[in-house]
Chains A and B, each alone.
Chain A
Amino acid sequence: MELFHNIRTVARYEARILRRSWFFRLFSLGAIFIFTIMNIGVFSPAGEEDWQVVAFPASIPHINLYLLNIGQAIVVIFLASDFLKRDKKVDTNEVLYTRSMSNFEYLMGKTTGVLRLFLGLDIIILLIGLLMNIISKTMTIDLASYFWFLLIIVIPTIIFSLGLSFMLMSLLRNQAITFLILLGIAALNMFWLNFRFGYIFDYMAFGLPVFKSGMIGFDNLSLILNQRLTWFFLGLSLILATILLFKRLPQSRVHTTVSAVFMLVFLALTAFCAWNTWSVYSTDQNDKKTVTETNRLFENSSFVSLSKAGIDFEHLGDSFSASADLHFTNNNDKPLDTYLFSLNPGLRVDGVNRSGKELNYKMTGHIIAVDPAEPLAPGEKDSISISWSGKIDETFCFPDNNDNVNTAPYRVAMLNVNKRQAFLTPDYVLLTPESHWYPVPGLNYYPSNPARLKVDFTEFILKVKTREDLMPIAQGNMKKEGYNNVITSDSPLTGLSLAIGNYRSDTLTVDSVTYITYYYPGHDYYKKDLAELKDTISFLVSGIMRDIETSYSAKYPFSTLKLVEVPVQFHSFPRMSTQTMAELQPSMVLLPEKLSMIDNAGFRRRFTRQKNRNTRNNQVITDKELQVRLFNDFARNAFISGENTRYVNGERLSEPVRYRLGPNFYFFRNNFRSAEYPVINAVFESHLQKQVSETDQFSSMSGELQENDRANLVLRNTSFRDVLAMNPKGDTIRTVLTLKGDYLFNLFRAKAGIDEFNDWFTAYLDSHRYRSIEVTDLNADMKEKFGFEFYPYLHDWFNSKGQPGFIFSGIQAREIIISNRVRFLVTFTTSNPEPVTGIFNVTFRTAAEGGRQMTGYYEGSGRGGSYNIMMQGQGPGSDISKIVVLGPAEAKKISIILDTEPREMIANSLFAKNIPGTLVLPIDNIVKSRNHTAYNEGEELLPSIPPLESPGEIVVDNEDPGFSTDNSTVMSPLKRILGVKKRQSDTYQPVNMFWAPQYWQAGVMSSYYGKYIRSSVFTRGSRGEKLVTWVTPLPKADYYDIYCYIGKSADRMVVRSGGGPPPPPGETPQGDNQFKDLHYLIYHDEGTEDISIDFGNAEPGWNLLGRYYISSDSARVEMTNQSAGRVVIGDAVKWVRAN
């Protein structure tokens, strides 16, 4: 056919012309080179084989095309506009224009030519990836995904880029302007639009989650197809519009008409697909609002407490039908004349009855209001049956959270993953309590009080009817009864989850707990990777569980622990009402497919690496020992104390790994409720489930703000109540809840005694498990046990805006003899000048052999490098030695006797103005008296607060008004318009060893000077163009000794850049000290004097700069950024009158 012949001819030769252009050659050769290296580096056995990536067979085509598409989208713009530039010069092409072909044929040929060329390049890159896929011992091959990603990522992007380029070139007829506009659109897409407005403007599929799971494939194919077709059709419309606008006399009326008609058809299809895409987003927004507003109507209503539920569930493809016998009690003070239940709005209630007799009910949104005919008196029980059916509406879940990839990114490597809260398909089902897939007597979110959560402990019996080839999984014991699978929970649960899929399972019973793993075929890779552990796995699991039980001081409360593999798209949002994520269910952990999102899960790769490292270091370790180590690392990281760190807008945020088993020891077992303080359970939970990770310990030493510091900054001028009312982000609420919990429990321990309270409370939780306890009952029980009522404290704890502040001084240690044993007496003075009662606790680091050295990669503010930190003589931190309560404007002398020699005292000021809240106070000299005088531990109330400064001393700290920097605070109007963030951080940042800012940045560390905030300012060392100034009025003209404060930790911690291998024992790590000379300019009566201080040789603390006569009213010291070191740091300056 002539049409196709002409299109093919134009395509063939236009592709040939483009292929021979230097620009395309350069791009394609560069792409082939870069992608070959990347594929080898990321996917091949010789490369990184990052488990998060290689766990997914589709990740090879996805990552390759995702990255290539970005480059292609830009190159297409250039080539396409260059392409039409030739057509603008008619002479060049008029020999072709006089040929018998229609404009349609010509432009379609051109389009096909470019498309063919880029698809050819894509296929080459994919073949490179496929080769790696074949070579890889870890990855399986998903050939279909190679085709899918080409279709959904690349083709719509190229077609739209071509269409827009053609169209703009036809209209503007200027390549430079066209190129600039198109480049601007591409940049806008990549940097701003991609995730906004429901991805509708993301023509490059840059932010759109198109991730393909190895379990369920694409989870949002409808959205993906609609979004991609929007741009595909729009691209085609633009190409057809270009045909109509083309500056050549048309030759076929049919083709012109067809072009016009199809342009309109494609425009209509564009609108249709765009509407579908948009409606997913807008419906989601609206539905969340509807859920919230419906909840608002019922948030003050009373609900029954569900004690038992027998649910019959029938899986019907992408829907289900169910019925339930619900047994409940009225635990409220008043009779209930309506039974309220919440059911997912995608489900429809088919009927409600009691003992076969129908009951009236009314639906208001997702709320079922059942008329029981007669009110249920307080303490009375009742039961009803409800039947319902339909699909799950996921927008119901987490109505206060939006799926925003910018503020809440969820990514596998750089790839965005859709966040799903439920799955209901013919082949796979996952329903967790968050989706309210069965009637729940309570709300999923209380709009006026998001910290509130109603928890019932319910016994469930679940009967599941599904396809024969699918396995249902829920908490409890499962047996088959005819077509039904009957699952009976062996303990009351806070909620029931159901997964149905093509699962396989393995069972292990250790110490009366049955561990069952459920996985998809082929996803049990760990069995092969950890094959040596076959006979020891029981011991390992037992050991890990013992460790967890010890750290929570409680036995694991369930008889089973089910580890269920779920699609990677399953993801929950943080809630204010609980810190327990939906990935963790009672006696069940929903693990991401192939453990992909968990660190240390790539056992094979880690094994090989470790083995090679051992061989290099001549270390002998058996395969089994190594596998034991890998398994323990993984299990501890995943289930005990792992943390995930991410950077959002340059800020480092750490959150506990979602699969920590902590909630099984509190949240799924106990509950405390309070109408006055609904947040109390979340506070208890945050404190009781807290685990300190290695990352916390390191980041506190690097000067990074700790979570309690962040929380204290949030609470500096705001009450806890007000913070909750602001509905802050998940990270903020978690840190605030933990801080308030720590404060409260330290108060309990301070009043009751540390060990006494711990033992009593552990037993209390155990004896009150699976019950919701009123906090006033706990208060009464504590009063009875310890004679102390905490409830009255809660008012200030919740509502007060003030913060205490602690000042520590006079820390001394003395070696003493008690009962012929050498002991150590530590004394110090502490005061709280603020009008609010405060609590702090004290722990000690004691002398231990050797030290610790950590090497690794430091990252902060987007820049990083290797670090080397060496800590000498630091043993592991001990338990809390003392908790001190300081009333308003109180000062105390504290004495503590220790069994071992202390090196550092660590005071945790909890809820206070102190930043950092964890103060590391060095104990440099131990006085060896060795006399046998009687010494007493304890607290001595001092008559007044000791002054911070000695008489005759004037100190100006960098937090004081007398201190100033030359940082510009005015932003350029352009930056303001573009919304460019001020680079100078408003909060405190750690000193980055590899990149110091060009402005003066404040940072905090224990070793810095400060009343409450121990901070300094630092900047990049240079030639002296930056300046800080300390000024203060002086009471009298005289000679003054002028000191500067050098904040360093008495040579105990040396931070050097450069990293490299650890040095031999006894030698310091290699690298360059980042701090060198500091230049102070002293203003005095005879002029100015430049004094240089060598940071390395300076004493920690005050260093004398010299004695000067100063008669002017105002004394002045300046410091510039002139230094040979990488970083210059300024803290405090002190003037001491000489006479």
Chain B
Amino acid sequence: MKIEIRNLNMIYSNGNHALKDIDLEIGTGMFGLLGPNGAGKSSLMRILVTLMKPTSGVVLADGRDIQTIRKEYRRLLGYLPQDFRFFTSLKTWEFLDYSGSLAGLRNRKLRIAEVDRLLDQVGLLEVRDRQANRLSGGMKRRLGIAQALIGKPGIIVVDEPTTGLDPDERIRFRNILSELSQNDVTIILSTHIVGDISSTCQTMTLLNRGEVVFSGSPENLVRKAEGHVFRLTLSQQEYDMAKEKYNVISTIPVDGGWEVQIVSDDPPPFSHTAIIPNIEHSYVYYMEHKLKAELT
């Protein structure tokens, strides 16, 4: 399914202009939405899952305004909100059953089979009869993704899915999404964790202050930072000076000083080595350096 976002604006009643003239095209596969807190990601997500109506502009699904085809569109939707909570008195399988039933799985036998399949897929089959309030944080997120997947949705929207997960859980989660993206499914992943994007998304958009500041593949974003990421070994005095002038990405203490990585348009006046940037470097370069420079 192809999602097109045209001139999307969202202005809240308090005057906050959360989204400004957003234009995007999202095809099948994993699509990453990256941006700092307050960039407008959640507003865009909520519009995409029909929890909210935009102030202006449209979201088209295969060319049709999702606001006019909510019934069909929601039928295709699987959604995992950022703050996923559910009824503590329901058991794991019951919650999936509830979601599955609403997702159109009417046959109880088939629905239960699907529930168990998904629980197995996300590694929760062993706790199928455990009440929700007795699941760990990771288990709850996995249950969240399971409920988003039930009913084989064509569009899956996941908002900050890996927040609070340990590295193992995070990798497992990314793998689940990657596997899904192979099945002609549109997965929209909103996150502020750049690593989630780099390891899963074919295309991505960078949002800042309600505007699209980058749109393309993660590789393109990385490419934009090439030649602008440097590794330096600095004394304490130099380090203090560098902190003032450059965006320091990482700091490692070494004998008699510091090994730091910075992003900068120009090579720094210290002994340095240019390194190959990753997406995190690119994100920082783009958000903290380039946009600031553009503004000034």
Contact = CB atoms under 8 A, between A and B. Distances in A.
B50 A9 contact: no
A83 to B, nearest CB: 11
B214 to A, nearest CB: 28
A991 to B, nearest CB: 56
B104 A100 contact: yes
Nearest to A9: B101
Nearest to A255: B71
B80 A91 contact: no
Given A91-B81, A91-B85, A99 B99 contact: yes
B77 interface: yes
A258 interface: no
B49 interface: yes
Nearest to B144: A95
B276 interface: no
Given A9-B101, A13-B94, A251-B74, A98 B49 contact: yes
Interface in A245-301: 248-252
A251 B70 contact: yes
Contacts of B67: 249
A940 B266 CA distance: 139
Interface string B105-131: 010000000000000000000000000
A252 to B, nearest CB: 6
B90 interface: yes
Contacts of B87: 13, 17, 86, 92
Contacts of A94: 49, 51, 79, 81
B270 interface: no
B246 interface: no
B166 interface: no
Contacts of A16: 89-90, 94
B103 A249 contact: no
Contacts of B186: none
Given A6-B102, A251-B71, A95 B89 contact: no
A534 interface: no
A21 B90 CA distance: 11
A90 interface: yes
A250 B75 CA distance: 14
A95 B104 contact: no
A13 B52 contact: no
Contacts of A2: 104
Contacts of A848: none
B53 A95 contact: no
A482 to B, nearest CB: 69
A5 B74 CA distance: 16
Contacts of B101: 5, 9
B51 A249 contact: yes
B12 interface: no
B83 interface: yes
Interface string B123-167: 000000000000000000000100110000000000000000000
Given A6-B102, A16-B90, A16-B94, A100 B83 contact: no
Interface string A86-129: 10001110111111111000000000000000000000000000
A20 interface: yes
Contacts of B103: 99-100
A751 B87 CA distance: 90
B147 A95 contact: yes
Contacts of A9: 98, 101-102
Contacts of B84: 91, 95
A67 to B, nearest CB: 28
A98 B98 contact: no
How extensive is the interface on chain B, given as a class? 35 or more
A20 B89 CA distance: 6
A249 B52 contact: yes
A92 B98 contact: no
Interface in A1-23: 2, 5-6, 9-10, 13, 16-17, 20-21
Nearest to B49: A98
How extensive is the interface on chain A, given as a class? 20 to 34
Contacts of A248: 51
Contacts of B81: 91, 94-95
A92 B86 contact: yes
Nearest to B76: A100
B137 to A, nearest CB: 16
Q: Most chain-B Cβ atoms within 10 A of its Cβ — which of A9, A10, A92? A: A9
Interface in A981-1032: none
B89 A21 contact: yes
Interface string B60-81: 0000000100111111010111
A5 B105 CA distance: 10
A100 B90 contact: no
Contacts of A99: 74, 77, 99, 102-103
Contact of A249 (B53, B82, B94, B147): B53
B80 A95 contact: yes
B77 to A, nearest CB: 5
Nearest to A102: B71
A98 B50 contact: yes
Nearest to B52: A249
A440 B94 CA distance: 75
A102 B77 CA distance: 15
Nearest to A106: B102
Interface in B18-65: 49-53
A21 B81 CA distance: 25
Q: Most chain-A Cβ atoms within 10 A of its Cβ — which of B49, B102, B104? A: B102
A100 B76 CA distance: 8
Contacts of B147: 95
A239 B238 CA distance: 70
Contacts of A10: 102
A9 B77 CA distance: 18
A112 to B, nearest CB: 14
A98 B89 contact: no
A101 B50 CA distance: 12
A249 B50 contact: yes
Nearest to A6: B102
Contacts of A20: 89
Contacts of A97: 51
B51 A100 contact: no
Contact of B99 (A90, A91, A95, A250): A95
A463 B107 CA distance: 70
A17 B99 contact: no
Nearest to A92: B85
A17 B91 CA distance: 10
A90 B51 contact: yes
Contacts of A21: 89
Contacts of B86: 92, 95
Contact of B79 (A13, A95, A249, A251): A95
Nearest to A99: B102
A100 B75 contact: yes
A101 B102 contact: yes
Contacts of B72: 100
Given A95-B79, A99-B99, A249-B52, A17 B90 contact: yes
Contacts of A98: 49-51, 74, 77, 79
Nearest to B104: A100
Nearest to A19: B89
B252 to A, nearest CB: 39
Q: Which 7 A-B pairs have the closest CB atoms?
A: A20-B89, A251-B70, A100-B74, A99-B102, A100-B75, A9-B101, A98-B79
16 contacts: A9-B98, A13-B94, A91-B83, A94-B49, A94-B51, A95-B80, A95-B148, A96-B99, A96-B102, A98-B49, A98-B50, A99-B103, A100-B73, A249-B51, A249-B67, A251-B71
Interface of B: 49-53, 67, 70-75, 77, 79-87, 89-90, 94, 98-99, 101-104, 106, 144, 147-148
Interface of A: 2, 5-6, 9-10, 13, 16-17, 20-21, 86, 90-92, 94-102, 248-252
Given A10-B102, A13-B94, A100-B102, 7 more contacts: A5-B106, A16-B90, A17-B87, A94-B51, A98-B50, A99-B103, A100-B75
